[in-house]
A and B are shown apart, each in its own frame.
Chain A
Amino acid sequence: MQDSSPALMDESRRALSPDDSHPGPAAGLGLRGWAVVLVLLATLPLLFMAVLSARDAEKEAIRRAHAQLMDAASLAADTQLRIMESARDLLIVMTHSPQLTEPGWPRCAQYFAQLRDRFPDYSNLGVAAADGRVVCSVRQGAGVVNIGDREFFIEALRHGGFTVSPYVIGRLSGLPIITFGLPVKAGADDVVGVAFASYPVAVMGRNFDQLALSGDTEVMLLDGRGTILAGRTGKPLGVGEQPRSPTLVQALAGRRTGVVEGLDSIGQLRIYAIAPVRKPRLQDGPQAGDPVFFTVVSMSHETVLAPAHRTLRERILAVLLGMLAGVAIAWWLGSRAVVEPALRIARATRRIGQGEPVGALRMAPFAARELVTIARDVEDMARVLRGRQQDLERQVEERTAELSRQRARFQTLADQAPQIVWNTDADGHVVYVNRAWTDLVGGSAEQWMGDRWTQVIHPDDLEPTLARWRQARAARATFEDTRRFRSHDGQWHTMQCRAAPVLRADGTVDFWVGVDADVTRMERIQQALKRSNEELEAFSYSISHDLRTPLSAINGFAQLLGRQVPGDAGERVRHYAARIDAGVRQMAELIDDLLLLARISRAPIEFTQVDLGDIARHWLRAMAQTGRARPVKWRVDDGLLVRGDERLLRMLIENLLSNAWKFSTREAGVDIHVGCSQRQDDWIVIFVRDSGIGFDMAYADKLFGAFQQLQPARESAGSGVGLATVRRIVQRHGGTVWAEGVPGQGACFYLRLPAVTHGVAAPPATAGDSSVNDHPQELAQ
């Protein structure tokens, strides 16, 4: 049961996992990890979309900024236009007023004094004579200052229209100003002077704050040469200077209007919207000529894109938050639905693998359906395995019980055996001896393990025994040996041993089983028997020679005696001699029979196939020809085949037939029948029946003893040794003989002898149809 190899167990344990918390191979993503990856993959497009829409929003923001900035710049330009128009209208009114048109301007000072309070925005209002001398003005200093070198003055005199000065510092006000001029005409085309209105640049940028779109928005007013006049910027405004942004300088130099993007003074990307302000005509109508001002509204890219960037950041954050939530949910659900059930199943299978009991597998409600199916399958498997294991355990128990029962049986058997039973291991060292051994040599069984038996073996037998033992072990063949052991009382016991190896399936020796029989007594008996046989032989010889020798003398001299005496007396002597002769003959016959009996007892037996019927027929025919006048009717059946020694069997049959012949002496027509009464595989029973004088069954058991003759000697010739010889021959074939008889009605002798087995010879062909084959009756004379 527990014999699965440790290497295999290691293997399976390693395959499961060395660590409870990480089932499966350590490398690679778990199911939960895969779920997280899926969530991440699913949210990636959202991120991509967010970025894409942010780019769209940027573009839109920039487009909108362009429009807004342009609007603002146009609005600023309009404001400047309004300022110029109001200045123009004011100058038109002034040039048409009589105070300025009358020669010599006698009332002009008064006039300007009235104007001073009505147009506070202007830094100065006045009129200059054609030579440039300021005749009258709002400010003090008229008559002192000459403006004849001013561009607007020169242009107004030359062209007679409304002129606008570039950026200048007012000579009366000392402020940066823009001055507008209009010629004063006394009559048609008679220019007497130029009226002028000075406007401080600071005031021009007065309403720029309203145009600021955001904190970053810069609004600037520049004159036609690109000089900064006014503005609203986060930085110090260099009034009267060129702008610092190269982009703007370049655009203004090229007189470009519209939207321009470029770097500003500190290197930031900025959007500039440039609107031109052209000089208004004297009458209302479209402006013409080069721009006299430029309004510039700008904003940095950063400010423009800030909302879009903010939106993008928020979206990305939202997507990331969603992603995080998704991952968390995937992780949690993966744990509940997949990982925990899978771990549970893995633990269960590991327990099954380790042979521990596994109960019901509890599955969470979220557990994946497939895993639940697997779990149910694992439960079923565990149940089935458990059942099988219990079956196996029960079987093992039964077998163990059976084994111990067999062991006890063997132990008892071995201990009760009169022979010594022993086991050795494959190397020939004793591992078991039964009680017979300790009874013989003493001590306990444990004392005799290993090679201790060599201590009690006869010194002369040790070497030959060890040699034979080595030989048998090398050949893995049966070990047979006879050797002597010293018993606990110091006697030598001759032990006959036979041992055989028990082989494993692969042919190697598992162990040896041996049995030692104490043959000391038997050997003694055998030796005695041998001696007795030798004595018997010598005795037979001496009988044969020594007993017969005097018989010859007795017989010879008796006959000679008869011949020596003549006449009637001689008749008597001859009669006596004849009686002596008969006695001597009988004696000689007896001696011969005894010798025969002795001889058949020790003659070697040679087994062949013998047909007793042939022998019988041969003998009976020969007897019939001897001419002893006796009517004998005989019958011999076919198929009386036996296995035995032909010479002895011939003696046997002849003995029985001569018996039958002999004891039919007084009967008129004796029948002799030789046949078979019973046939088995190994045995055949043959009978010899005669209708002679028979015998009394009361003496049946004495029939076969030597010197047992039931009839008086006179009535039949026989020594009484014949049937003893018959029995001895049958015994030597391992068979039995018995007889049936009724006095006066004949006798029947049965011989149970080894049959010819089918492998040795075929039965006679006539056996089937007529086993009793009437022989042609032969009548003796």
Chain B
Amino acid sequence: MDSKPILVVEDNPDHLELTLLALEQQGIANEITVARDGVEALDFLLGQGAHAGRDTRRQPVLVLLDIKLPRLSGLDVLKRMREDPRTELVPVVMLTSSGQEEDIAASYRTGANSFVRKPVDFTEFSEKLRQMQLYWLLVNEPMPGR
């Protein structure tokens, strides 16, 4: 299997745990990298800060990005990603509990590939994550040449 990781950016520990649990239940082989805030996520993606020296050619196969994050918001992270040639093509799914239309519009405008609202119901949430994985890891043909 491809060893490209899935990056989950989530500051809420409960949500993080539930998310990881759900992903785990799906039996995904991909490595799952977690970032607790926007800065950490960017450090990882761009190989800087705590992640300095990381091979930035190895970018995540999918980024699950919460909008509301400490230090640097999800939208800012997305913006920086799209500005950087190394991460401009990385698929990003905005995964958030907010259903604000403004957030949805801003996300797409900044270059999000998808926007998923976290359902309150855990079962539903798990199902959505399963479908997402299925789609982005198996159905969708990634950008060639990597």
**Which chain A residues have a beta carbon within 8 Å of chain B's beta carbons?**
540-541, 544-545, 548-553, 555-560, 581, 584-585, 587-588, 592, 595, 599
Contacts of B121 in A (CB 8 A): 555, 581, 584-585
Contacts of A552 in B (CB 8 A): 14-15, 18, 97, 118-120, 122, 125
Contact A541 B122 (CB under 8 A): no
B140 at the interface (CB under 8 A from A): no
Knowing A544-B99, A560-B21 touch, does A585 contact B14 (C-beta < 8 A)?
Answer: no
Contacts of B18 in A (CB 8 A): 552-553, 556-557, 560
Q: Enumerate B47-90 residues with CB–CB distance to A below 8 Å.
A: 67-68
The digit string for B81-125, where 1 denotes a CB below 8 A from any CB of A, is 000000000000000111111000000000000000011111101
**Which chain B residues have a beta carbon within 8 Å of chain A's beta carbons?**
12, 14-15, 18, 21, 67-68, 96-101, 118-123, 125
Contact B122 A555 (CB under 8 A): yes
Contacts of A549 in B (CB 8 A): 12, 14-15, 97
Contacts of B119 in A (CB 8 A): 552
Contacts of A588 in B (CB 8 A): 120
28 sampled A-B residue pairs with Cβ under 8 A:
A540-B100, A541-B98, A544-B98, A544-B99, A544-B100, A545-B67, A545-B96, A548-B118, A548-B120, A549-B14, A549-B97, A551-B120, A552-B15, A552-B118, A552-B119, A552-B122, A552-B125, A553-B12, A553-B18, A555-B120, A556-B14, A556-B18, A556-B21, A556-B125, A557-B122, A558-B122, A559-B123, A595-B99
Query: Across chains A and B, which 7 residue pairs bring their CB atoms closest together, nearest first?
Result: A553-B14, A556-B122, A556-B18, A588-B120, A548-B97, A545-B98, A559-B122
Contact A560 B122 (CB under 8 A): yes
Contacts of A551 in B (CB 8 A): 120
Question: Whose C-beta in chain B lies nearest to the C-beta of A545?
Answer: B98
Contacts of B21 in A (CB 8 A): 556, 560
Chain B nearest CB: distance from A585 CB in Å? 6
Tell me which of A557, A581, A587, A592 contacts B14 (CB under 8 A): A557
Question: Whose C-beta in chain B lies nearest to the C-beta of A592?
Answer: B99
Q: In the complex, A553 Cα to B13 Cα: how many Å?
A: 9
Q: In the complex, A553 Cα to B118 Cα: how many Å?
A: 11
Q: In the complex, A550 Cα to B14 Cα: how many Å?
A: 8
Chain B nearest CB: distance from A287 CB in Å? 178
Contacts of A560 in B (CB 8 A): 18, 21, 122
Q: In the complex, A558 Cα to B122 Cα: how many Å?
A: 9
Q: With contacts defined as CB atoms under 8 Å apart, how many contacts are there between chain A and chain B in the complex?
A: 63
Q: In the complex, A50 Cα to B19 Cα: how many Å?
A: 159
Q: In the complex, A587 Cα to B97 Cα: how many Å?
A: 14
Chain A nearest CB: distance from B138 CB in Å? 25
Q: In the complex, A555 Cα to B121 Cα: how many Å?
A: 6
Contact A584 B120 (CB under 8 A): yes
Chain B nearest CB: distance from A589 CB in Å? 9
Q: In the complex, A541 Cα to B98 Cα: how many Å?
A: 8
The binding surface of chain B is classed by DSSP as loop
Contacts of B98 in A (CB 8 A): 541, 544-545, 548
Contacts of A541 in B (CB 8 A): 98, 100
Contact A544 B97 (CB under 8 A): yes
Question: Whose C-beta in chain A lies nearest to the C-beta of B118?
Answer: A552
Question: Whose C-beta in chain B lies nearest to the C-beta of A599?
Answer: B101
Knowing A545-B68, A559-B122, A581-B121 touch, does A553 contact B15 (C-beta < 8 A)?
Answer: yes
Q: In the complex, A587 Cα to B96 Cα: how many Å?
A: 17
Contacts of B123 in A (CB 8 A): 559
Contacts of A545 in B (CB 8 A): 67-68, 96-98
Question: Whose C-beta in chain B lies nearest to the C-beta of A548?
Answer: B97
Question: Whose C-beta in chain A lies nearest to the C-beta of B19?
Answer: A556
Q: In the complex, A588 Cα to B98 Cα: how many Å?
A: 11
Q: In the complex, A549 Cα to B19 Cα: how many Å?
A: 13
Q: In the complex, A544 Cα to B121 Cα: how many Å?
A: 15
Chain B nearest CB: distance from A209 CB in Å? 169
Q: In the complex, A705 Cα to B18 Cα: how many Å?
A: 37
Q: In the complex, A595 Cα to B68 Cα: how many Å?
A: 18
Chain B nearest CB: distance from A206 CB in Å? 176
Chain A nearest CB: distance from B96 CB in Å? 7
Contacts of A555 in B (CB 8 A): 120-122
Q: In the complex, A599 Cα to B100 Cα: how many Å?
A: 9
13 extra interface residue pairs, beta carbon distance < 8 Å, beyond A544-B97, A560-B21: A541-B98, A544-B100, A548-B97, A548-B98, A548-B118, A548-B120, A551-B120, A552-B118, A552-B120, A555-B121, A556-B21, A559-B122, A585-B120
Q: In the complex, A463 Cα to B120 Cα: how many Å?
A: 59
Q: In the complex, A736 Cα to B121 Cα: how many Å?
A: 38
Contacts of A550 in B (CB 8 A): 14
Q: In the complex, A540 Cα to B68 Cα: how many Å?
A: 14
Question: Whose C-beta in chain A lies nearest to the C-beta of B14?
Answer: A553
Chain B nearest CB: distance from A709 CB in Å? 21
Chain A nearest CB: distance from B95 CB in Å? 11
Q: In the complex, A552 Cα to B67 Cα: how many Å?
A: 16
Contacts of B100 in A (CB 8 A): 540-541, 544, 595
Question: Whose C-beta in chain B lies nearest to the C-beta of A589?
Answer: B120
Q: In the complex, A599 Cα to B125 Cα: how many Å?
A: 25
Q: In the complex, A599 Cα to B101 Cα: how many Å?
A: 10
Contacts of A584 in B (CB 8 A): 120-121
Chain B nearest CB: distance from A598 CB in Å? 11
Question: Whose C-beta in chain B lies nearest to the C-beta of A551?
Answer: B120
Q: In the complex, A587 Cα to B100 Cα: how many Å?
A: 17
Contacts of B15 in A (CB 8 A): 549, 552-553
Contacts of A592 in B (CB 8 A): 99
Question: Whose C-beta in chain A lies nearest to the C-beta of B123?
Answer: A559
Contacts of B67 in A (CB 8 A): 545
Q: In the complex, A541 Cα to B104 Cα: how many Å?
A: 13
Q: In the complex, A552 Cα to B125 Cα: how many Å?
A: 9
Q: In the complex, A551 Cα to B121 Cα: how many Å?
A: 9
Centre residue among A545, A550, A552 by max chain B CB count within 10 A: A552
Q: In the complex, A585 Cα to B21 Cα: how many Å?
A: 21
Contacts of A548 in B (CB 8 A): 97-98, 118, 120
